[in-house]
Amino acid sequence: MFTGLIQDVGTIERLDADGAGARLRIATALGAEIRLGDSVAVNGVCLTATAADDTGFETEAMNQTLEVTALGAVEAGGKVNLELAMRASDRLGGHIVQGHVDGVGTVLETREDGFARRLRVSLPPELVRYAIDKGSIALAGVSLTVAELGDDWIEVSLIPETLERTTLGELQAGSKLNVECDMVAKYVERLLAPFAGKD
């Protein structure tokens, strides 16, 4: 489990992709804290560390992960948001994030808004229903608040701290990013589904 508060921006040092999946070596100062088998959120995708040292870690992404997330488009030299799994004693400063990506969104536009930057992102139709005004959403692993909501898009407002400490400041129109909707909304829908349409 994660919180969506990014701890480091790592660099993909090596990417070996073939028909079996992808193996990545990611350089990060977090390497010294990572142990074999630890879960690490990479751009919001929960992956398992297969090796680690003081300068980074290695991990693998199976074909299904590459197909349903934006990780399939990463390249060697690219930057990724990183978060280690939370400890039971940690503050839950963001929101509950599982690292189980629900889909891929597309940046429609970015615009400056005072010291902040607004980011408008289109969502797949099956995900829009989980977005609510002022609700939580994770984009590329970052816990954010929905600032505005349209029929098929959301807007979030990025403060300077977020722009500086994550990859979101590099996004442009057309960029793809992983989306994880609020887990609570999905549970509520599941629990109420048997009663839908009943008086």
Residues β-bridged to residue 117: 112, 158
Helix, strand counts (H, E) of the chain: 4, 12
Q: What is the pLDDT of residue 89?
A: 87
Residue 53 CA, chain-centre distance (Å), reads: 24
Taken in order 44, 143, 116, 11, is the CA torsion positive or negative? negative
The reported pLDDT for the residue numbered 185 is 84
pLDDT at 197 over 80: no
Q: Where do the domains of the chain lie?
A: 8-84, 103-190
Lowest mean pLDDT across 65-69, 142-146, 162-166, 189-193: 189-193
pLDDT of residue 135: 94
The band of 145, judged by pLDDT with boundaries at 50, 70 and 90, is very high
Fold of domain 103-190? Elongation Factor Tu (Ef-tu); domain 3 (2.40.30)
* pLDDT digit string, tens, across residues 176-190: 999 999 988 888 888
Class of domain 8-84: mainly beta
Q: Is the pLDDT of residue 198 over 70?
A: no
For the segment 49-65, the average pLDDT, to the nearest whole number, is 97
Report whether pLDDT(7) > 80: yes
Please identify which residue in the block is written with the tokens 């790592």: 10
Provide the pLDDT for residue 84.
98
Tokens of 110: 């970015």
> Fold identical between 8-84 and 103-190?
yes
Residue 199: per-residue pLDDT: 57
Query: In sequence order, which residues have a C-beta less than 8 Å from that of residue 4 and are 6 or more positions away?
Result: 83, 94, 95, 97, 136, 138, 141, 142, 143, 144
Q: Report how far residue 138's alpha carbon sits from residue 143's, in angstroms, rounded to the nearest whole number.
A: 5
Query: Is it the case that residue 163 has pLDDT exceeding 90?
Result: yes
Q: Summarize pLDDT for 71-118 with one digit per residue, the tens.
A: 999 999 999 999 999 988 888 888 999 999 999 999 999 999 999 999
Q: pLDDT (tens digit, 9 = 90+) per residue, 8-49?
A: 999 999 999 998 999 999 999 999 999 999 999 999 999 999
The confidence score (pLDDT) of residue 184 equals: 86
Q: Determine contact, residues 129/192, Cβ cutoff 8 Å.
A: no
